[in-house]
Amino acid sequence: MLSSQALGLAYHRLGMFTAAIKSYGRAIELEGSRIFALVESGNIQLMLGSFRKGVEQFSSALETVPNNLAAQFGLASGLLGWSRQCITSGAFGWGATLLKEAAEAAKACTSLSGNQYSAWKLQGDIQIAYAKCFPWEDKEDSPEVDEKIFKVSIDQWKNTCLLAANSAKCSYQRALHLAPWQANLYADIAMSVDLIYSMEEKKEPDPALPEKMCLGALLLEPINKEFWVILGSLSSNHALKQHSFIRGLQLDISLSEAWAYLGKFYESLGEKLLARQAFDRARSIDPSLALPWAGMSVGYQDRTSLANESFESCLRAVQILPVKFQVGLGTIAILSGHLLSPQVFGAIRQAVQRAPHYPESHNLNGLVCEAQSDYQSAVTAYRHAKCALAIMPNSKADINSHLADVSFNLVRSLCKAGLAFDAAQECEDLKRKGFLDIKGLQIYAVIMWKLGQYDSALTIARSLAKNVLTMNQTGVAAAIGLISSLIYSISGKESAIAVIQKLPSQFLESDRMRLIISALSALGPSMQLQLSLPSMFQTVVSYGVVNEIHSIIALSKMISSELNQDLRIDHGVNYLRKVLHMYPDSSLLRSQLGSLLLSRGDRMAPHKAVECAPLSDGQTAKPGFKSPDVIHGAAVVSCYACRSTIPKFSFSTCPVQHMHQKSRVYHLQRWLHREPWNRTARYLLILNLLQKAREEKFPERLCIILKRLLKDALSNESYLEKNKQCQYEKFILLLSASEISLQSQDFLECISCAKEALGVNPLNTEPFFAHLQLCRAYALQGNISNLRDEYANCLRISTTNEIGWVMLKYLEPSCQLEDSSDAIVVNLQKCIERKGNSSNYWVGLLYLACAQCFVWAEDYVSAEQALAQACAEVDADSCLLLCHGAICMELARRECVPQFLSRALSSLTKAQKASPTPLPIVSLLLAQVEASLGSKAKWERNLRLEWSSWPPAMRPAELYFQMHLLAMQSSAVSGQHSGVESSQSPERWLLRAIHLNPSCLRYWKVLQKLVDS
User: What are the pLDDT digits (tens) for 596-653?
Assistant: 888 776 667 777 777 777 776 555 555 556 777 888 788 877 765 445 555 555 555 5
731-746 average pLDDT score:
93
| Those residues with Cβ within 8 angstroms of residue 954's Cβ, 6 or more apart along the chain or in another chain | 647, 648
The lowest-confidence range among 278-292, 584-598, 603-617 is 603-617
Per-residue confidence (pLDDT) for residue 562, from 0 to 100: 60
Per-residue confidence (pLDDT) for residue 527, from 0 to 100: 46
With respect to residue 386, please indicate whether it lies within any of the assigned structural domains: yes
Per-residue confidence (pLDDT) for residue 411, from 0 to 100: 87
Do residues 347 and 422 both lie within one domain? no
Nearest CA among 805, 416, 811 for reference residue 623:
416
Per-range mean pLDDT, top range of 195-204, 505-514, 748-757, 966-975: 748-757
Do residues 843 and 949 both lie within one domain? yes
325-345 average pLDDT score:
79
Do residues 855 and 946 both lie within one domain? yes
Do residues 963 and 941 both lie within one domain? no
For every residue of 863-900, which 3-state class applies, written as one string? HHHHHHHHHHHCCCCHHHHHHHHHHHHHHHHHHCCHHH
Give residue 701's pLDDT band: very low, low, confident or very high (50, 70, 90). Answer: very high
Handedness of CA 274, 275, 279, 285 (dihedral sign): positive
CATH of the domain at 290: 1.25.40.10
With respect to residue 903, please indicate whether it lies within any of the assigned structural domains: yes
189-209 average pLDDT score:
76
Question: Between residues 659 and 936, which one has the greater pLDDT?
Answer: 936
> Which DSSP string corresponds to 959-1012?
HHHHHHHHHHHHHHSTT---SGGGGS-HHHHHHHHHHH-TT-HHHHHHHHHHHH
With respect to residue 348, please indicate whether it lies within any of the assigned structural domains: yes
Do residues 969 and 996 both lie within one domain? yes
Per-residue confidence (pLDDT) for residue 756, from 0 to 100: 92
The lowest-confidence range among 143-157, 650-664, 874-888 is 650-664
Question: Between residues 19 and 640, which one has the greater pLDDT?
Answer: 19
| Those residues with Cβ within 8 angstroms of residue 673's Cβ, 6 or more apart along the chain or in another chain | none
- Helix, strand, coil share (%) of the chain residues, nearest 5: 75, 0, 25
816-830 average pLDDT score:
74
Please give the Cα distance from 963 to 357 (Å, whole number). Answer: 80
Nearest CA among 937, 321, 971, 334 for reference residue 926:
937
Q: How many domains does the chain have?
A: 5
Do residues 906 and 921 both lie within one domain? yes
With respect to residue 392, please indicate whether it lies within any of the assigned structural domains: yes
Per-residue confidence (pLDDT) for residue 531, from 0 to 100: 46
User: What are the pLDDT digits (tens) for 999-1010?
Assistant: 989 989 888 888
User: What are the pLDDT digits (tens) for 494-552?
Assistant: 777 777 777 776 666 676 777 777 777 766 655 455 545 555 555 555 677 777 788 87
Exposed / middle / buried, residue 84 (Cβ in 10 Å: 0-12, 13-18, 19+): middle
With respect to residue 506, please indicate whether it lies within any of the assigned structural domains: no
Please give the Cα distance from 956 to 984 (Å, whole number). Answer: 17
688-717 average pLDDT score:
89
Asked if 493 and 524 touch (Cβ cutoff 8 Å), the reply is yes
Do residues 290 and 343 both lie within one domain? yes
Per-range mean pLDDT, top range of 299-308, 432-441, 870-879: 870-879
Give residue 773's pLDDT band: very low, low, confident or very high (50, 70, 90). Answer: very high
Do residues 985 and 1004 both lie within one domain? yes
Give residue 754's pLDDT band: very low, low, confident or very high (50, 70, 90). Answer: very high
Do residues 961 and 927 both lie within one domain? no
Residue 1011 pLDDT greater than 70, yes or no:
yes
The lowest-confidence range among 38-42, 639-643, 734-738, 772-776 is 639-643
Do residues 933 and 962 both lie within one domain? no
| Those residues with Cβ within 8 angstroms of residue 446's Cβ, 6 or more apart along the chain or in another chain | 415, 457, 482, 486
Domain span at residue 328 reads: 254-355
Residue 741 pLDDT greater than 80, yes or no:
yes
Give residue 772's pLDDT band: very low, low, confident or very high (50, 70, 90). Answer: very high
Per-residue confidence (pLDDT) for residue 14, from 0 to 100: 75
Q: How far is CA 731 from CA 683, 763, 772, in A?
A: 11, 12, 13
With respect to residue 521, please indicate whether it lies within any of the assigned structural domains: no
Instruction: Among 955, 971, 987, give the residue marking a domain's end.
Output: 955
Asked if 424 and 451 touch (Cβ cutoff 8 Å), the reply is yes
Do residues 943 and 846 both lie within one domain? yes
Instruction: Among 331, 355, 379, give the residue marking a domain's end.
Output: 355
Residue 489 pLDDT greater than 90, yes or no:
no
In this structure, the number of other CB atoms found within 10 A of the CB of residue 50 comes to 18
662-691 average pLDDT score:
85
Instruction: Among 320, 355, 390, give the residue marking a domain's end.
Output: 355
The lowest-confidence range among 101-115, 654-668, 834-848, 970-984 is 654-668
Please give the Cα distance from 108 to 129 (Å, whole number). Answer: 18
The lowest-confidence range among 644-658, 713-727, 807-821 is 644-658
The mean of the pLDDT values for the chain is 81
Question: Between residues 344 and 618, which one has the greater pLDDT?
Answer: 344
Per-residue confidence (pLDDT) for residue 559, from 0 to 100: 75
In this structure, the number of other CB atoms found within 10 A of the CB of residue 203 comes to 7
- Tell me the backbone φ, ψ of residue 304, rounded to 5 degrees: -85, -10
Do residues 851 and 930 both lie within one domain? yes
Per-residue confidence (pLDDT) for residue 98, from 0 to 100: 93
Please give the Cα distance from 226 to 229 (Å, whole number). Answer: 5
367-384 average pLDDT score:
87
Handedness of CA 958, 964, 970, 975 (dihedral sign): positive
The lowest-confidence range among 187-196, 553-562, 797-806 is 553-562
Per-residue confidence (pLDDT) for residue 541, from 0 to 100: 57
Per-residue confidence (pLDDT) for residue 658, from 0 to 100: 47
Question: Between residues 689 and 642, which one has the greater pLDDT?
Answer: 689
With respect to residue 185, please indicate whether it lies within any of the assigned structural domains: no
Question: Between residues 458 and 393, which one has the greater pLDDT?
Answer: 458
The lowest-confidence range among 23-27, 54-58, 536-540 is 536-540
Per-residue confidence (pLDDT) for residue 641, from 0 to 100: 47
User: What are the pLDDT digits (tens) for 557-576?
Assistant: 777 656 556 677 788 888 88
User: What are the pLDDT digits (tens) for 425-435?
Assistant: 888 888 888 77
Give residue 686's pLDDT band: very low, low, confident or very high (50, 70, 90). Answer: very high
With respect to residue 609, please indicate whether it lies within any of the assigned structural domains: no
649-660 average pLDDT score:
54
> Which DSSP string corresponds to 35-55?
HHHHHHHHHHHHHTT-HHHHH
Per-range mean pLDDT, top range of 457-466, 563-572, 732-741: 732-741
